[in-house]
Amino acid sequence: MQNLDDGRVKVVAEGEACDLESLLAALAIKNTIINVVDIKSEHSPASGDFDSFVKVVSGGETDQRLDVAAELLTKLIVVNEKILDEIRATRKELTETHEDVNESRDAIVSEIRELRVDLKENLDGRLIRIESDVSQIKAKIAL
């Protein structure tokens, strides 16, 4: 097996026809990480150059690990998307709450201003009456 510069992989194998067909089927990998789109095979008489076969990884362990990793990554992405949706919803709620607080604040400020005007008018009226009462008292006691 050899990785080629253009992204292809070259596999040279010898064996019984049924075994070679099984190998071709096993090479047609389609999963989250690997997507074999085309397999071209050439058949020729066995050269006898291969006297043994050593499995680097038994039972497709690497593919299984990649599949598990891809599945976990997919779950992580889904969880992250849900968290982002919750953050967006919370931010929207906070923005709406902030707007409500601003409206309430503006209404309270307006109400306080009106109360201050009313209080000032009331106090001004009382002060005028007190001054009038004081003037009348002074006049009666001749001061």
Residue with tokens 């690997």: 34
Rounded distance between C-alpha atoms, residue 136 and residue 143, angstroms = 10
pLDDT given for residue 8 in this prediction = 82
**What share of the chain has pLDDT > 90, as a percent?**
48
Model confidence pLDDT, tens digit, residues 45-55: 888 887 776 65
Residue 10: phi and psi, rounded to 5, are -105, 130
Rounded distance between C-alpha atoms, residue 102 and residue 99, angstroms = 5
Residue with tokens 């006049």: 139
Domain ranges of the chain: 2-37+61-140
Q: What is the mean pLDDT of residues 75-103?
A: 95
Eight-state DSSP code of residue 10: E
* pTM beyond 0.85: no
